[in-house]
A and B are shown apart, each in its own frame.
Chain A
């Protein structure tokens, strides 16, 4: 366990599956150098196969006794999907009739292959929601525990889980050990790579690119021990944000506000079944454990309170008025860490997000 833990909360009631986070991450980190197939951030449709294909069935994580479970390493072509491109160049140079716009391979699988399919029968009770996923920067990481080279470490100052590429020898046990399959093999350099929680950004007081760019403003970022951070309030005070698949035993640090709002079902005549909800509670229980019931109860109660009285701190937080409130990166803290480690502290680039627990002057606004 690290000294402090940076965490992210994602509000699933608000995710519209636009993939802006995915693109923000891809253009920042994974569009080159053997990472082309990787999505450190992806948004999948639930229920669905997810990314990589059927990741929930591929093992890893810990059993109740605390033993790391064996897992399966997904195949690039079959389970992740080859990133294909099109024959732009030959379209420019070859005017023959047979030359048509076409992908450079015949794709058989890719991320979001089953986007928006969901489950249930249309129009009676079909349903789905979007599940954005990044590395969970777990408190008890499966990847770290699986590595026979001690090449994966968890930073003391913020709990970010990183791969030491000098030590990594490309054995890929980390991929088998991660139950979320959020660590990837870079075949070009024969080493594992993963979401770094945009640490070069957070050290400068900026939120991760995925959170910054989110148009639905569903992502909150902050330290769990920062009593003023909205992340702390959502996770520890209101307890409406829960880790994904807590049964994997890795203690994830990305938390989700479960989707509570879904339309009612229709009966055979196409009439609304009053009081029904399309999203089966069992599915939410599978994803978030028993705690999901309490979270839903609180969310419903606060929503009602807001409607009746106009006042609810929780609803105000979830409306996500200000980036400055949603992201508390506490840049001053990183400046102190840099000084302790005899590194040159990086100058803050964007002063909007620097206010935090360890910031003495200014305060957030």
Chain B
């Protein structure tokens, strides 16, 4: 009996490890305008939902002791994602389970809100290789739409209404005048936390504040989970979306002190705009796994000393020297993994502030360019490379 159970379990593990990357999502073309679409808009009934797996981001571990303890060995999550487009705009809906509704209330120093983000690859002359999944890489920018769950947050509202940005106790009014003051403050309250950033690797993210971004995102809490929606133009100063659109989804759990890198994120996933010419090469890149042999790849990774700098699994000790790879198979494409092995400087994970771990820099700056401290492994033969990539693809957390 035990034997059967064990073999069943191992079969289950083997299945999940060998599980292919998430399939492409179909964006259904609709005639309704998507510009002002809401989570409860009727047009969503036309959408086709696909399952997307979101893996805990573990490339770097930040310095918040409590948050790190809460997120230790975090599991992957499933989200249901659907897309619509109307010729001018694209709309996405992301549904994911979250047992606690954590809002940004503006009340205390230790609250963290739930949130979600959608990442698009910035418009560049050469769409491939895709930007690094962790908010882009140098020369390969991304656009990130972030939405946090908020409650009305009073004063200050950011609109420079300074006279109203004081506590009611600090006003010199009483009675009816105080009630009028309260009403004025409430009317000026900020209710939304929606931000759009352009990034070329983490730490480089810069908010778009000049009004050039016309996007609308929102979050509503349903039965033990969130529904997030985003609507944005297919074409603007930052992206030019057609045919096959690579996106990545991230969600944050406020109850786990999630913010910044403490999140679950998907690999690049393909959204096919139904009826448009699809990019077969891009789809293949995002949905095909390495043909290599993972078991052999594990041996090759060991003999090439990867774990000298990288944490490969939770069993390895943590290292400040290089990104942890324990979920790299979850959020990376095979082509990115291959590129990183043979051309370590092609997309450098900027990692920690260089001052935080000054003895273990991930890169050096030579003639203004970041040069990775990782050895170049381009001497490996094709089969060994395929095997190592196949092994790296198995490095990911189980789905919760």
Contacts and interface: CB of A to CB of B under 8 A. Distances in A.
A188 B169 contact: no
A59 interface: yes
A70 interface: yes
A176 B64 contact: yes
B260 A148 contact: yes
B156 interface: yes
A190 to B, nearest CB: 6
A145 interface: yes
Q: Which of A92, A144, A147, A188: most chain B Cβ within 10 A?
A: A188
Interface residues of A, number: 51
B155 A33 contact: yes
Interface string B154-194: 11101000000111011000110010000000000000010
Interface stretch (B100-108, B230-238, B378-386): B100-108
A93 interface: yes
Given A33-B165, A34-B106, A70 B158 contact: no
Contacts of B158: 189
Interface in B202-217: 202-207, 209
Contacts of A167: 206
A148 B202 contact: yes
Contacts of B126: none
Given A187-B108, A188-B153, A59 B207 contact: no
Contact of B353 (A89, A150, A188, A189): A150
B320 A67 contact: yes
Interface stretch (B17-25, B220-228, B355-363): B355-363
Interface in B135-166: 153-156, 158, 165-166
B32 interface: no
B203 A148 contact: yes
Contact of A32 (B65, B105, B170, B193): B170
Contact of B359 (A32, A67, A73, A89): A67
Interface string B61-83: 01111101000000000000000
Contacts of A173: 62-64, 260
A75 B108 CA distance: 7
Given A32-B170, A144-B353, A144-B355, A77 B63 contact: no
Interface in A16-48: 31-34, 36-37
Q: Which of A73, A175, A185, A190: most chain B Cβ within 10 A?
A: A190
A254 to B, nearest CB: 20
Contacts of B68: 70
A304 interface: no
A93 B174 contact: yes
B156 A189 contact: yes
A70 B65 contact: yes
Given A32-B165, A66-B358, A144-B355, A171 B259 contact: yes
Contact of B167 (A32, A68, A76, A190): A32
Contacts of A282: none
A147 B165 contact: no
Contact of B108 (A76, A149, A171, A175): A76
Contacts of B243: none
B113 to A, nearest CB: 9
* Interface bracket on B: 35 or more
B64 A73 contact: yes
Nearest to A150: B203
A74 to B, nearest CB: 7
Contacts of A188: 106, 153-156
Interface string A167-205: 101111101110000001101111000000000000000
A75 B356 contact: no
A71 B68 CA distance: 10
Contact of A80 (B65, B109, B209): B109
Given A34-B156, A74-B109, A145-B355, A172 B207 contact: no
A67 B357 CA distance: 5
B348 to A, nearest CB: 15
B111 interface: yes
A260 interface: no
B109 A76 contact: yes
Interface in B9-64: 62-64
A190 B193 contact: yes
B65 A176 contact: yes
A147 B356 CA distance: 9
B63 A147 contact: no
Interface string B358-398: 11000000000000000000000000000000000000000
A85 B202 CA distance: 42
A137 to B, nearest CB: 15
Contacts of A147: 353
A189 B320 CA distance: 32
The 4 closest A-B pairs by CB, nearest first: A68-B356, A145-B356, A145-B355, A76-B109
Interface of B: 62-66, 68, 104-111, 153-156, 158, 165-167, 169-170, 174-175, 178, 193, 195, 202-207, 209, 259-261, 320, 352-353, 355-359
Given A59-B65, A66-B358, 7 more contacts: A68-B352, A148-B353, A173-B64, A177-B63, A187-B107, A188-B153, A190-B106
Interface of A: 31-34, 36-37, 59-60, 65-77, 80, 85, 88-89, 92-93, 140, 144-150, 166-167, 169-173, 175-177, 184-185, 187-190
11 contacts: A66-B358, A67-B359, A88-B169, A148-B62, A148-B260, A148-B353, A149-B203, A171-B62, A171-B260, A172-B109, A187-B109
